[in-house]
Amino acid sequence: MRQPRSISSSVGFGLVVGVVLYVILVVAGWNAARGHSDWSTLLGQFGSALTAMLPGLVAGYLARRSGFVIGATAGILTSVVVSVLLATVNWPPFWEPQEVTRGFVVGGIAYALAAFLTNGVAGIAGVHVARARLPSNPPPNSDAREAGAR
């Protein structure tokens, strides 16, 4: 089995997965807005759930150590990149009241906190899934486990 990836590359992969998934979700949302259907709502909710945890899961799986820290870092970086993308596309004009601008900032902070928690837990799960797949950990009813018990 492959060696664990470095922390920075694991977080980078998680970040790329999160941003790509978010962009796909936004493009699918734009296409669904033209001809709204129940499927677009269902896929939108499923995509939102995936973007909330997949960056941390991927980062934890690739690193195979420090699951919470790596997952939380991938989640925060993903939320920052997505917030910057949203702000550049949707930032209100300068004549809008400060409450609107403050709403963007507060929303970005809340998104980062939520990403910290959900992706941290997903990072722990990714580490455990990766470790369970190691050759030294055969499945419960496999021949390798029975041979070791004899």
Local structure of 141: helix, strand or coil = coil
Q: Closest by alpha carbon to 48, among 15, 18, 3, 76?
A: 18
Q: What is the mean pLDDT of residues 126-141?
A: 74
For the chain, the average pLDDT equals 75
Query: What share of the chain in percent tops pLDDT 70?
Result: 67
Q: What's the pLDDT score for residue 39?
A: 60
Give the mean model confidence (pLDDT) for residues 26-33.
Answer: 65
**pLDDT the model gives residue 19:** 82
What pLDDT score was predicted for residue 96?
A: 65
More confident residue, 32 or 56: 56
Tell whether the model's pLDDT for residue 99 goes beyond 70.
Answer: no
Q: Say if residues 92 and 101 touch (Cβ distance below 8 Å).
A: yes
Q: Among 60-74, 93-107, 134-148, whose mean pLDDT is lowest?
A: 134-148
Q: Which of 77, 79, 62, 85 is nearest to 133 (CA)?
A: 62
pLDDT of residue 30: 63
pLDDT for residue 86: 76
What integer pLDDT is reported at residue 34 of this predicted model? Answer: 64
pLDDT the model gives residue 106: 82
Q: Which residue has the tokens 């910057």?
A: 84
What pLDDT is recorded for position 130? 83
| Alpha-helical segments (H) within 35-66 | 38-63
| pTM, to two decimals | 0.67
